[in-house]
Amino acid sequence: MSNPNEAPQPQQPGAQPPQPGNVPPAGYQPPQGYQAPPSYQAPPSYQQPAPGYQQQGQPGQGEGFHFEMPTDGPKNFNDVLPKGGFSGMFKVTGMPTELKVSYWIWLIGGLLALLGGLLGLFGSIVLFTLAPAIAVVVLLLVLIALVVAAAQIVFAMKMKEGKEWARLALTVIAGISLILSIVGGAMANGQSNNWFSFVISLIATVLMWLPNSQAWFKSVKGAV
């Protein structure tokens, strides 16, 4: 005769597995074929995210270089001129190290090119007494070099102000330096000093597009 107070054993008919949240008694064994309910089941309308999906607010891993055309281009001639004139030419406070090095390369290179252009200008004037036709060509090349050198100095100072269009203009100047190196090397049978100038400008260009420099340009743009 069984005691009515005894709980039915799991093997007996009518035995129910413990409900979620209840602690089963000692020695309890679930019946054959019983599966514990999962802790969470997604609703039928839920869909798995598409491959490559990233939750908003979490930066992607391994983001590559992303180029965007500058939107801060100058609207008039005053926007091209450095703020405060050329008095702040040697002030580089607030810039990351990469941009400081790049700025000094562009500035010193522009000043040296400007000085060389002035010497070439005097030389072309003297050449007029010996070969006027050749002197005209040399004078034209010297004037172009002077304009490029002056523009490089101005663009470097505007780059120091955080202007993305100036950074792009300096990149174009580096491309022009490459073309001059190729042409000069072909005319001098591969022996040309323009390659050294191109390598220096290439280093300055790369420094302007490094991630730390990119972040600085974005911060300056957002602060305006």
Q: Residue 41 — pLDDT band, cuts 50, 70, 90?
A: low
Burial of 200 (0-12, 13-18, 19+ CB in 10 A): middle
Q: Residue 213 — pLDDT band, cuts 50, 70, 90?
A: very high
> Six-digit token pair at 127?
């050449």
More confident residue, 193 or 148: 148
* pLDDT single digits (tens) 111-131: 998 998 898 888 888 888 888
pLDDT at 97: 95
Note whether 204 and 170 are within 8 A (CB): yes
Cα separation, 199 vs 105, in Å, equals: 11
End-to-end CA distance of the chain: 91
How many angstroms separate the Cα of 83 from the Cα of each of 16, 74, 105?
Answer: 83, 13, 20
pLDDT at 58: 44
Note whether 168 and 76 are within 8 A (CB): no
Range of the domain at 112: 97-219
Q: Considering the domain boundaries, does residue 215 fall inside one?
A: yes
pLDDT at 106: 95
pLDDT at 46: 47
Q: Considering the domain boundaries, does residue 131 fall inside one?
A: yes
Estimate the share of the chain in helix, then strand, then coil, as percent rounded to the nearest 5: 50, 0, 50
User: Looking at residues 164-193, what average pLDDT do you find?
Assistant: 78
pLDDT at 73: 81
Number of domains in the chain: 1
- Is the pLDDT score of 160 beyond 80? yes
Q: Considering the domain boundaries, does residue 190 fall inside one?
A: yes
pLDDT at 123: 85
> Six-digit token pair at 152?
């490089």
